[in-house]
Amino acid sequence: MIAASAVPVITIDGPTSSGKGTISRSVARALGWKLLDSGALYRLVALAGQLAHLDPDDVDGHVSIARRMQVEFQADDTGEERVLLEGEDVTGAVRAETTGQGASRVAVWPAVRDALVARQRAFAEPPGLVADGRDMGTVIFPAAELKVFLTASAEERAARRHKQLISKGSTANLADLSREIAERDQRDSSRAVAPLKPASDAVLLDSTGLAIQQVVARVLALGRERGLWKV
Ligand code: DC
């Protein structure tokens, strides 16, 4: 697949558990493009803060971490992604529910967001980038060739997250998850800086009741229609 412009970007934004991660990864794989999991960067800031025993309210300390932390995203022999923080494998800890909650808190601070801008833009490398997050289309890549805003009903998102946690052997309570998802949506959409909202030129895609492959096919069809690559 030859990209039409130097570094074309597809942004996939949306609320927690909307399927963004899975869809973004599948689209990037199908195209052979790079992937930016921006949520992982916020999670890493929160996790590094916890590991350094930072006060959860210490803004400057978290900004300093956001600027300096050494992170690497790797695929192991089985194709599973591994996340390294300062050379240590933190894949499990990054995905933990508590780290997600911490990420949502540090993501409210404008200085932390600023500190991560250049790091995120640096992921745009040939042949193209699929960027997954909350503000990819609005703030980080405002000139992206294709912007998708992926949603799904709150019930379906809680059910998906529940299934995911159970399959990993964790215990999870559907009612607690629904409540946490609603709280996180509220915090992510109401913050002053880069709130979760679709870019004015984003395509809204509701994945409720759709299979992963159907959503991936729709995103690829949109990219093809826009001439993002030459087949
Ligand atoms: O997508 P995720 O669950 O890994 O994201 C974790 C938190 O990080 C989420 O609650 C909000 C925040 N986040 C953000 O503010 N901006 C992004 N581009 C990505 C994530």
- More confident of the two residues 213 and 231: 213
Closest-CA residue, ligand 1 atom 10, reads 104
Q: Give the model's pLDDT for residue 5.
A: 61
Region 177-183 average pLDDT: 88
Using only C-alpha atoms, what is the Rg of the chain? 17
Four-residue CA torsion sign, 46, 49, 55, 60: negative
Region 56-66 average pLDDT: 97
- Asked whether 116 lines ligand 1 (CB < 6 A), one says no
For all residues of the chain together, what is the average pLDDT?
Answer: 92
Distance 230 CA to ligand 1 centre (A): 32
> What percent of the chain clears pLDDT 70, i.e. is strictly above it?
97
Closest-CA residue, ligand 1 atom 11, reads 104
Tally of helices (H runs) and strands (E runs) in the chain: 9, 10
- More confident of the two residues 82 and 154: 82
Q: 191 pLDDT band (50/70/90 cuts)?
A: confident
Residue 132 to residue 150: CA distance in whole angstroms: 10
- Asked whether 113 lines ligand 1 (CB < 6 A), one says no
Region 1-18 average pLDDT: 83
- More confident of the two residues 193 and 145: 145
Q: How far is CA 173 from CA 5, 98, 140, 159, in A?
A: 46, 15, 35, 10
Q: If you search the block for the tokens 């130097």, which residue do you land on?
A: 6
Ligand 1 atom at minimum distance from 136 CA? 18
Q: What is the pTM of this model?
A: 0.90
> Per residue in 42-60, pLDDT tens?
999 999 999 999 999 999 9
| pLDDT exceeds 90 at position 155 | no
Q: Give the model's pLDDT for residue 120.
A: 97
Closest-CA residue, ligand 1 atom 1, reads 39
Beta-carbon count within 10 A of 176 CB: 12
- More confident of the two residues 13 and 81: 13
Q: Give the model's pLDDT for residue 154.
A: 84
